[in-house]
Amino acid sequence: MKNKASLQLSCPIPASEYDSIQLAHGGGGRLTAQLIDRMFLAALGNEFLEQAHDGAFLTMDTADLAFTTDSFVVDPLFFPGGDIGDLAINGTVNDLACCGAIPRYLSLAFILEEGLPMEKLWQVVLSIKKAAEKAGVKIVTGDTKVVEKGKGDGIFINTSGIGECIKGTRIAPERCRPGDLVLINGSIAEHGMAILSQREGLGFSPAIKSDTASLSAMLNDLLHQISSVNVLRDPTRGGLASALNEICGSSQTGIELLEDKITVSEAVRGACEILGLDPLYVANEGKVLIILPEEDAEKALKILRSHPEGAQSAIIGRVTDEHPGIVRLRTLVDSTRIVDMLTGEQLPRIC
């Protein structure tokens, strides 16, 4: 086992040995063991992974846990602002944080396509390492499968995660109440447009960057200071519109959004206009919707803004009992329109 000090940035399996993934790397024999030892353990090794068991033994500090899973099939694997590796860590970390939990332990399972360049896999592993360290989570158990060329698409990743629930918090979509305010920690639609412009070879200048980020530290801080938070939700696939529609559906409340409070960067707005997309439906990966009583909203804003991920936080709407189950947008010209759930597929394989 290599120790951390000896971790190299160059791929630990040189091209002269194997320049790409072979079926045998998923066979459970010697090549699987080599891949695990030289690449995964070298980069991600810790006392849990080194148990080299069918699973990890964990001792938790509380009996109240959050548990979540996500598979990542993003295309392309690398995009402005991130790659499938940090996306897979941040996505699961944020799902746990949105349960009101402190993310602790992650599993990491790869489905690799035969012929995947070894160097690409190594870049993703390094990105995973960096994102996990930043988010304060440990990868404690893993799995590697390989499928024949043409039966996969480079790299698919599943991460599942366990978090410890923060005492006193009760986060659930159905706890959304009339009078509550809706906050978001910054501008929307960046992840989806970064993927799309990379995929379609659209050279927007400046390049639109994904907002992928761990929200754990910011939300942890928020929940420790404000116990009245009712709903946390990361508006990923389906965007802001779909997330808010789900919340309205669960809680049988309505939400009124204020268009002039929702920030969309100029580059994203321009790209959306060219492609005929509504930014309300475009995926985010570093954003969270926070719904809480009005009296705590200003304090919450202050806390959110003290974190880099929340510097642009704003109040963007209000919960109402007037149109239960429905999200309405008050537009810039002071008319209103209904913001429905996403129908059909806007952007496939965005995460």
| Of 109, 226, 275, 315, the one binding its own copies by CB under 8 A | 109
Smallest separation, CB 92 to its own copies (Å): 9
Q: Which of 12, 21, 26, 317 binds its own copies (CB under 8 A)?
A: 26
Is 197 in a helix, a strand, or coil? helix
Q: Which string of x and - marks every residue 170-209 that binds its own copies (by CB under 8 A)? A: -xxx------------------------------------
**Torsional sign, CA 78, 79, 81, 85:** negative
Pick the closer one to its own copies by CB: 212 or 267.
212
| # residues near its own copies by CB under 8 A | 87
Continuous segment of H or E residues that includes residue 219: helix 216-225
Site string for its own copies, 239-258 (x = CB under 8 A): ---x---x---x--------
Residue 115: CB atoms within 10 A of its CB come to: 16
Q: Which stretch binds its own copies (CB under 8 A): 13-21, 66-74, 262-270, 312-320?
A: 66-74
Q: Which of 77, 88, 93, 105 binds its own copies (CB under 8 A)?
A: 105
Residue 221 and residue 103 in contact, taking contact as beta carbons nearer than 8 Å? no
Give DSSP secondary structure letters for 84-117: HHHHHHHHHHHHHHTTTEEEEEEEEEEEEETT-B
Output 39 or 267, the one with its CB closest to its own copies.
39
Among 197, 230, 236, 313, binds its own copies (CB under 8 A): 236
67, 76, 252, 321: which one contacts its own copies (CB under 8 A)?
67
Site for its own copies in 117-176 (CB under 8 A): 140-143, 145-148, 150-153, 156, 158, 160-163, 165, 171-173
Give whichever of 15 and 58 is closer to its own copies, judged by the CB atom: 58
**CA 99 – CA 104 distance, rounded (Å):** 13
Binding status of residue 76 toward its own copies by CB under 8 A: no
Which residues have CB under 8 Å from 146's CB, separation 6+? 21, 22, 23, 24, 25, 26, 27, 111, 112, 113, 114
Span near its own copies by CB under 8 A; candidates 4-12, 120-128, 235-243, 293-301: 235-243
The smaller minimum CB distance to its own copies, of residues 146 and 268, is found at 146
Distance CA 132, CA 127 (A): 8
* Type of residue numbered 73: V
Residue with tokens 């891949």: 35
Closer residue to its own copies in complex, CB, 127/242 = 242
Beta strands in 179-313 (DSSP E): 181-184, 231-233, 254-258, 289-292
